[in-house]
Chain A
Amino acid sequence: MSVTDTRDIGSTPGQAPTRQALFALLRHPMGMAGGAIIACVVLTALLAPIITTVGPADIDYTAILQPPSANYIFGTDEIGRSVYSRTVYGAQIALVIVGGSVGLALISGTLIGLVSGYFGGRTDTILMRIMDAILAFPTLVLALAIVAILGPSLLNALIAIAIVSVPSFARLARGSVLVVRELDYVKAARTMGASSPRVMFLHIAPNIMANIIVFASLMASAALITESGLSFLGLGVQPPTPSWGYMVAVGMNYWTSWWMSFFPGLAIFLTVLGFNLFGDALRDVLDPRQTGSQT
């Protein structure tokens, strides 16, 4: 009972700022623009069968490498598939990989950061040196190597992107834990005999989640860039599944048919922009110290 009380004290003052932050976000023009873009991409992915007339794999031999027209608004590719339809369905793949990899990285990175920051000492040193070692690799290079080992597929690309994103989450979580660990309510919980896992998951974790979620929205854009880089190099999602990066790469072999790489590339650009705008706005809203200089 007494431990529950401590938790209440920790969370009650947190409620109002959360709501405030939500309202502040609604008034943040850049954040709203970012949110609108993300909403559009999600809707496109969900409504793909409704907003397209032909499937992403449907081949029209009478319309090969056609420029954008009334029939095919984004034109057609080298075997007569609709670039529009493939770009629309590509949103599903992009969101699955981004959501999956960022989610996976968030959970494992936060766990590592919690353990590292909470226990400190040798555990901390070892875990953090491993994270530093992974961070020394350029993201795309390491992701490339992991996919080459596991074999190119949607799931393996997702895993590779998750692995390269883990250290960033772990470092952030660890840093936040170091601050929260010293707060009075955590000390009180420990004094009252709460076990380490209980303190870590019930007392510390809820208090560092806001930071981590903000960071996740920024990592989403990095994940999409890495995914499209992998697909571009031919090591991401395998054809015929429509992936934006791969479509851009194929378009490179047909220079005169600019629409083949232009539209999927534009989709990557807009989605990344959306995640960046939204993430920046979240950070502005949740971190008052930064707000003054950012806007």
Chain B
Amino acid sequence: MRRFAGKLTELVTVLLISSFIVFAIGALLPGDPTVTVLGENATVQQREQLRDELGLDDPLLVRYIRWATDAVRGDLGTSLRTQEPVATIITDRLPVTLQLTFMSIVLAIVVGLPLGVVAAKWHGGSVDLGISVIGLSSLAVPYFWLGILLILLFSLQLGWLPPSGHEPFFQSPAENLRLMILPVITIGTAMAALVMRQTRTAMLEAMSQDYVRTARAKGQSETGTVLRHALRNALNPVVTVVGLQFGSLMGGAVVTETIFSIPGLGRLVVDGIFNRDLAVVQGAILTIVVCVVVINLLTDLLYERLDPRVKL
């Protein structure tokens, strides 16, 4: 329990530092926010009045504390461009990105786990080699290139799937899923390869352990041994790799959402940067960072649950 408290303090410290970085990013982005709001032709007085209202001339630390306390209360400011509250924009965008990332994780596990088990079971053979080569290649494909190849093949050449766009899930689930197939494959492929490699390594390790030999000696069937004894113990590192990769999935979402015109958090960051919409950039990046940090903590906790030998 004390260690859990320690973990929590660590988490809060990390959140404080990273939130300061997020704030600094917004504050340091070039461009005058008053130009974004008032346009080029406003008078000096109008500008100064706005700077005063937004508190832009206060010291950085004062502005950070003000921003952070508001953020904790759920107020992330208003978009300089659309005048909408940033929190509302994020509430619209976040579910889209979460759907994309979680579906990618499911794909990665459904594909990666069995392949890893198969590769470990027949390790050293041609099946293993084949799976490993596919895995290595999948890890080397940049998200955006894979996305484009998928569109070229499945949308433009074969005409099976729409090339881009998004439908909210609750409006038309079928269309939503159809539009999600290519983006999910785009992000999920590299993740599947990681899961596969991790499963393979962990399975090989587990299968050389005494308890597996004991299970075999007791007459347990080969499938039973592999699935019930080896795989169960090999799952921990797999959980860790999935949890720790959540951040890179979010990064993948940035390019993938751009290619497939999906209105998610990643595209919000990119658009915000190009539009110099500071509050939006800060809010969106802060949300991403909080998600990553929380998922990392959950991964640690789950790891402990799965393996009673590990104590946090």
A contact residues vs B (CB 8 Å cutoff): 30, 129-130, 132-141, 144-146, 148-149, 151, 221, 225, 228-229, 232-233, 235, 245, 248-249, 251-252, 255, 258, 261-262, 265-266, 268-270, 272-273, 276-277, 280, 293-294
Contacts and interface: CB of A to CB of B under 8 A. Distances in A.
Contacts of A248: 142, 144-145, 148
Contacts of A249: 144
Given A269-B142, A273-B136, A261 B18 contact: no
- Pairs of residues from A and B, 8 with the lowest C-beta to C-beta distance, nearest first: A138-B251, A265-B145, A133-B17, A273-B140, A140-B251, A133-B18, A272-B140, A145-B25
Interface string B100-142: 0000000000000000000000000000000000001101111
Contact of A138 (B141, B148, B247): B247
Given A134-B21, A144-B269, A145-B273, A229 B144 contact: yes
B14 A132 contact: yes
A133 B14 contact: yes
A138 B152 contact: no
A141 B148 contact: no
B254 A269 contact: no
B201 to A, nearest CB: 5
Nearest to B13: A129
Nearest to B250: A138
A141 B137 contact: no
B255 A140 contact: yes
Contacts of A265: 142, 144-145, 148-149
Interface stretch (B86-94, B213-221, B285-293, B301-309): B285-293
Contact of B142 (A136, A229, A280): A229
B52 interface: no
A223 B14 CA distance: 24
Contact of B255 (A145, A229, A273): A229
22 contacts: A129-B14, A133-B21, A136-B15, A137-B247, A137-B289, A137-B292, A138-B248, A138-B292, A140-B254, A141-B269, A145-B285, A149-B25, A228-B142, A245-B144, A258-B152, A261-B145, A268-B142, A269-B141, A269-B145, A273-B136, A293-B201, A294-B201
A159 to B, nearest CB: 14
Given A145-B273, A269-B145, A277-B136, A129 B17 contact: yes
Nearest to B246: A138
Interface string B13-53: 11101100100010011100000000000000000000000
Contacts of B143: 229
A64 B29 CA distance: 38
B280 to A, nearest CB: 12
Interface in B252-277: 252, 254-255, 258-259, 266, 269-270, 273
A160 to B, nearest CB: 12
A264 to B, nearest CB: 8
B293 A136 contact: yes
A261 B273 CA distance: 25
Contacts of B204: 293
A149 B254 contact: no
A141 B254 contact: yes
Contacts of A129: 10, 13-14, 17
B281 interface: yes
A138 B25 contact: no
A11 to B, nearest CB: 32
Contacts of B273: 144-145, 148, 235
Contacts of B142: 225, 228-229, 232, 245, 248, 265, 268-269, 272
Nearest to A235: B273
Nearest to A266: B145
Contacts of A276: 136, 139-140
B156 interface: yes
A248 B148 CA distance: 9
A148 B201 CA distance: 40
A141 B250 contact: yes
Nearest to A164: B251
A232 B140 contact: no
Nearest to B141: A269
A148 B29 contact: yes
B84 interface: no
Contacts of A232: 142, 144, 255
Contacts of B17: 129-130, 132-133
Nearest to A271: B140
B282 to A, nearest CB: 10
A269 B293 contact: no
B141 A144 contact: no
B205 interface: yes
A151 B30 CA distance: 8
A136 B18 contact: yes
Contacts of A266: 145
Contact of A141 (B14, B145, B251): B251
A136 B25 contact: no
Nearest to A135: B247
A132 B293 CA distance: 10
